[in-house]
Amino acid sequence: MPMLSRSTVPVVAGCLALALTMPLPTPMAAPALGQESPQRLTDRQLLDEFIHFVFIDRDDVAADYAAQLLGRGIEPRDFVDLVEGAGLAERFDRAVSEAIRSGVAEAQAAALRGLYSEGRLQRARDPREIAENIAMLVGPLRGRLIAKERLVAAGEYAVPQLLRVIDEGGDPALVREVRAVLVQLGQQAVMPLSVALRQAPVQTQVAVADLLGQIGYDTAVPFLAEVAKSSANPSVREAATNALNGLAGNSRGMSAHELYVQIAEKYSAEDASVTSFPGEAAQPVWSYQPTAGGLIFSAMPTAVYHEYMAMRLCEDSLRLVRRPNASALALWVASYLRLDIERPADANLNLGLREPMYYAVASGATISQNVLARALRTNNTPLARRAIEAIGKTASGRDLWVGSTGSTQPLVEALTYPNRRVQYEAALAFAHAQPRSPFEGSDLVAPILASSIRGATDRYALVVSSDPEVGRGLQRMLEGMGYRVGPTGVSLEALRQEYEAAASIDLVVSSLPLDQSVGLVTQMRASRRLVASPLLMLSDGADEIELRRRYGNERSVAIRTAGIRSEQMRATIDDLVLRTLGGQISQEEATKYAASAIAALLELAISDNSVIVASDSTTQLAQALESDTGMFDLPLAELLSWIDQPNAQQAIFDRAIQAQGAQRVTLLGHAANSARRHGNQLLERQVQRLLQLARSGSDAEAIAAAGLLGSLGVPSDDLAGLILDGRGS
């Protein structure tokens, strides 16, 4: 046990005495740090006290000391020196682990561990440290072992200096040790070495090709294939070919430009094998500049690293073959759109490119349809919307629904994608195209457009809980957030009727044991209705740890400790829905969707389109007119006046009776237009109400009512009554 600082002895001694002699039913209150003059404690003393109080099960006190230590703003490397200089590395690690498990000092202990880890990384990656460790590779055995351990800890960041030793070709013993370290680095050496392979000096190219063959990762295959074919040096071609033969596997026979796309797909999928530092904020991106010392790295935010690397590899493919190379072009456009969607708000990325929509539109409808197919396949809602936007700007006619080979285009599939924004935008694209021949899904377009006019802001959630009381509590909380929540269920199957009936499910919240939680994820992924829905899983203990291990890196899944505060849960839900669906549909968005849908349906109705039939949505439109607050009643009435359905004309008239003044006059005019186009479709009670309005309404209203009567062709005795009433007869 470390010695207690002199200034803390009285308080700590008192605490220990109480702890040993007076078993208490509740934990003792933590001593106030202010009474111990914490500013007079050294950093080492605060660290000692943190470790000490964790080991005597006083995590409440330990948390205070840790917070005080963190508040001093110690630099990460200085903190490593503090821990390791005092020989406390093992005790510190054990104390942090125990504090995190206990939960009381979890946040403070995790912050200390993060500070220590960051400091170790900074030290390992310091170019001076790397140079010193490389020099130690030819020293005494213990020094060599320590140097190798530190160089492996530095990972990719050590590769430039290690490669420089091979470039210089000095001490053969040092070169031999460096090659061994590079092989030991494995995956983390592959990308920097692969980038260097294409431009390094000949002797280095031969050595690098051999190293890539020994390391054995397929990420190097396209680089080796390119050099094996294009190098003018026989030794380089031979070394690259030999390495390639040992790595190609299923890729044997593919050209280099195809292989670049194959590896780009791994980056696009964010495969673990191409992610060097998954828990860090940034990843290294490599280039080789012979005149600037060889390998150079720049930092790319992890949030967009995979998209950026997929773009670079597609550019390598397009550099070799520009046409036909649609797979590289489509993946490049998709990756650039994703990068733009997912880039951190504070990231200053200067890629030297125009905005991504420029390239999406310039590449044409076929590429945009390929991007949409990728988005639908990966359930990437924001990407699907960008692709539909590009399709709408470039495609026309049959290009929207039939591909060059006669197959159905992805835009058709978007009509049934389980997200309302995607459905609305796909339906608008079809409506504007004014199709003249039926296609699969054409009968869905008008109802989808009509559904966007009312209820676009409705939000639907499912609650799945093994404990009905917990489920009801979650239901109440979600309803307080504005969600529509049906009955809670103990399983997804029990809620099938609920989610099958909804336009889309905007959120699923679960509180289940581990095995049922895993089953829930599997079921959602197999369900066409739920595959794109965000999922919040509430759990704790070992179950939570396992769920985080399995699903913690997935965009559409959030895992939180059961019982978190409501404000934390609300923030989690808002963030989850934002990154998965692009956020909830705002009132402003809903207004734009409604206006666009009404305009599109009006065009279809006026043109009497027989493929997308506006009258298929008459019931929904009539209901929308009935419930409208005054924003869209006139456009809806105009639209309905073009539809030859009795309930369309009747809905216009009923809305006119509810209105007053100029609005009533305009609505009566739309009813008259309907009557002139389709004849009298009003009910008898409506005709009698119209006669009453014509007799007693204001001049403008009475004239409009009379005009409608004339358009309806009402019986002559009714008109005679109007004349005689006017004379008082």
Q: What is the pLDDT of residues 210-267, one digit of tens each?
A: 999 999 999 999 999 999 999 999 999 999 999 999 886 767 779 999 999 999 999 9
Res 7: pLDDT: 36
162 closest CA partner among 187, 185, 146, 143? 185
Peptide bond into 435 cis (omega under 30): no
Would you say residue 548 has pLDDT above 80? yes
Would you say residue 18 has pLDDT above 50? no
Res 566: pLDDT: 86
Please give the mean pLDDT across all residues of the chain: 88
Q: Which one has a higher pLDDT value, 17 or 183?
A: 183
Torsion over CA: 212, 218, 221, 223 (sign): negative
In angstroms and rounded to an integer, the radius of gyration of the C-alpha atoms of the chain is 35
pTM, full prediction = 0.81
Would you say residue 6 has pLDDT above 60? no
Would you say residue 204 has pLDDT above 90? yes
Residues 6 or more apart whose CB falls under 8 angstroms from that of 68 comprise 33, 38, 41, 46
Cross-strand bridge partners of residue 537: 510, 559
Would you say residue 702 has pLDDT above 80? yes
Three-class secondary structure of residue 509 per DSSP = strand
Instruction: Please give the torsion angle defined by the CA atoms of residues 197, 200, 204 and 206, in that order, rounded to the nearest 10 degrees.
Output: 50
- Going by pLDDT thresholds of 50, 70 and 90, the confidence category of residue 284 is very high
The mean pLDDT value for 154-168 works out to 93
Instruction: Locate the DSSP E strands across 540-597.
Output: 557-561
Would you say residue 717 has pLDDT above 60? no
Res 560: pLDDT: 93
| Residue-range domain boundaries for the chain | 6-125, 460-584, 607-727
534 and 576 in contact (C-beta within 8 Å)?
A: yes
Res 582: pLDDT: 84
460-584 classified as CATH 3.30.1360.20: no
Q: Pairing relation of β-strands 484-485 and 535-539? A: unpaired
- Going by pLDDT thresholds of 50, 70 and 90, the confidence category of residue 404 is low
705 and 697 in contact (C-beta within 8 Å)?
A: yes
647 and 622 in contact (C-beta within 8 Å)?
A: yes
The mean pLDDT value for 580-590 works out to 89
Tokens linked to 54:
């964790």
Tokens linked to 178:
């460096």
707 and 689 in contact (C-beta within 8 Å)?
A: no
Would you say residue 637 has pLDDT above 90? yes
Distances (CA, A) of 454 to 27, 106, 582, 598: 57, 47, 20, 11
The mean pLDDT value for 662-677 works out to 96
Residues 6 or more apart whose CB falls under 8 angstroms from that of 166 comprise 175, 178, 179, 204, 207, 208
**What percent of the chain stands above pLDDT 70?**
92
pLDDT, tens digit, 9 for 90 and up, residues 85-104 = 888 889 999 999 988 887 78
- Going by pLDDT thresholds of 50, 70 and 90, the confidence category of residue 408 is confident
Give the whole-angstrom CA distance, residue 31 versus residue 106.
19
Would you say residue 186 has pLDDT above 60? yes
Cross-strand bridge partners of residue 507: 461
Give the whole-angstrom CA distance, residue 492 versus residue 28.
45
Tokens linked to 476:
């109440």
Three-class secondary structure of residue 295 per DSSP = strand
Ramachandran bin of 271, using left for φ above 0, alpha for ψ from -120 to 50, beta for the remaining angles = beta
Res 9: pLDDT: 34
Res 613: pLDDT: 94
Tokens linked to 579:
């990154």
Most confident of 32-36, 114-118, 394-398: 114-118
CA 134 to chain centre: 42
671 and 641 in contact (C-beta within 8 Å)?
A: yes
Instruction: Please give the torsion angle defined by the CA atoms of residues 382, 385, 386 and 388, in that order, rounded to the nearest 10 degrees.
Output: 160
596 and 428 in contact (C-beta within 8 Å)?
A: yes
- Going by pLDDT thresholds of 50, 70 and 90, the confidence category of residue 718 is low
The mean pLDDT value for 173-197 works out to 95
Would you say residue 22 has pLDDT above 50? no
pLDDT, tens digit, 9 for 90 and up, residues 25-63 = 333 334 444 445 556 789 999 999 999 999 998 988 999
Res 39: pLDDT: 62
Give the ranges where 103-220 is alpha helix by DSSP (H). Answer: 106-125, 127-135, 141-154, 159-168, 172-185, 187-197, 202-215
Q: Which one has a higher pLDDT value, 455 or 185?
A: 185
Would you say residue 169 has pLDDT above 90? no
Lowest mean pLDDT among 393-407, 531-545, 699-713: 393-407
647 and 615 in contact (C-beta within 8 Å)?
A: no
Q: Which one has a higher pLDDT value, 18 or 112?
A: 112
The mean pLDDT value for 497-501 works out to 85
